[in-house]
Structure 1
Amino acid sequence: MENLNLATRPDFLSGDFVDACLQLTNDTVNDEQVVRILGTLWDIQNAKDIQRWNACKDEEAQFTRDLADQAAEELAQQQLHLRNEEEAALAEEHKKNKVKYVPVPDMEVPMGPVDIPAPYATCKLKKGEYCELYFFTNVSLAEAESFNVSIDDEALALLKADNGQHIWVPASNTRDKSAVIKDEDLTWEQFGEASVCLLSAMREHDWQKDRIEMHVKFWTVLEVH
């Protein structure tokens, strides 16, 4: 439908309006007055037509917007439903395959061999307790590397706690003291091996910086003495 806002007043002197002009023309109304009368009537009717036309277009535009909003809402609901299904499926997948989704620590890749002391020494470090330097020598680290966690972790040992009570602990947290060389009996080479590895282990187990620096100064003094 043509936009009525763009409509222009017709030429009432043309042949299309001869009959209308004859009906309005008389002794007191000439042709010029007839043209003005027809123009006024056309303007009044055109204003009404424009008002109805605009209202109709507004309704059509609103209907189009409502359809678009409804379609967008339905699409959003579908996407939400799909996302919920995917999240539920992923959660179920996490439950079934926990190892597959274990978070990967954000750390640098070691450029050299990683020295992991025996579980007994690791336990001592975590508690901040004294641990013999022997556990950080190359010999002890080699023993720890050959340690079979999957088997030995199932074994338990009975130990006497500080409060006098006996408790069962994993055998990996115990150690035959007779096989451990005392700090004062270590060779100078073993002492050097242990000092480097122990410092690394202390940092790994979040020892306070001043404690680590104290050990560094202590060993530095011994080495240059």
Structure 2
Amino acid sequence: MSTSSQPIPSSSNSNGGSPARLLSDPNAAICPDLRSDAFKDVRGLIDPDNGIAIAKLTESWTTNNDQLKQQWAAQVETDRQIQAAEEAQRQLEADQDAAEAARVAEEEKLEAEKKKPKLGDFDVNSAPPAFIESPISLFAQRKLERREYCPLWPFTPGGLREAADARLSSNDDISSLKLSRNDGNQLTVQSGPASSTHKNMARDEHLTWRQFSLASNRYIKEIVRAGWPRIHVEALTQFFYSLEQHDLHNIESDGENILKIYADRIRVEWFRTLGSSQSFNIAHHRGEISDEYFTNKRSKQSAEGFSG
């Protein structure tokens, strides 16, 4: 008789390894009719007593079915765990993708926020000042921010009017272009302060004494606002004050011209030598400044009809 007619199939594979995967639920299996003629020969092989043979066959089928039920339960649980793990992995990947998308969106939002114009805070309890001086030009601001020499013209009434006119026409926002090399040895185009704001720019020595005096006072105020070191502010303050009090105002007919020439040259030289072994204290200038150099300058100006 072929093995396919046996009522008790084996749950193990032919290699004696793990049980073969069940394709149907043994809980739904029904014990065959072991009393039928189909099992007559099998019953005869088991026991001559038909009743005993049927009992043994029934017991064997039930035992095997119970084992298959256990295998099925384990198989179902294994499948559930595998499916749960796969679902958890899919959910993890989905969460990671969502988190990455949210992170990118947040970065883009922050970057967009950075590019938006910002309004600064203000003190809600503070009243506005009673008087506000006319702002200096962007050109002068940049010079002071960079701690560089700046002529006094931008601080004169005329220079301040030019700055005000430039702001109205937006000329002060028009900057000259220059090439700059960064740390990566790359050339970039940068904007610089537009000196074209001051179309009437003049050297300090060509200012009137009133222009020179008003501009030097405003210049001192602005370097204080720009946060210059106290020692530099005090030296320049003493320098300009000593020029205001100098005897050349009364002794020489063109003494003020000589003072302006001296102030122009010495201030340029002071800035040029700052930080070097040639530096000096600009406040400690000589009392006698009308030496041969300035006398020649004075004579030249007198010949040209230059007036203070």
Which interval holds the TM-score relative to the shorter structure?
0.3 to 0.5
**Structure having the larger proportion of residues in helix:** 1
The TM-score with structure 2 as length reference comes to 0.35
The TM-score with structure 1 as length reference comes to 0.47
Give the structure, 1 or 2, with the largest relative contact order (CA under 8 Å, sep 6 or more). Answer: 1
Q: In terms of Rg, which structure is larger?
A: 2
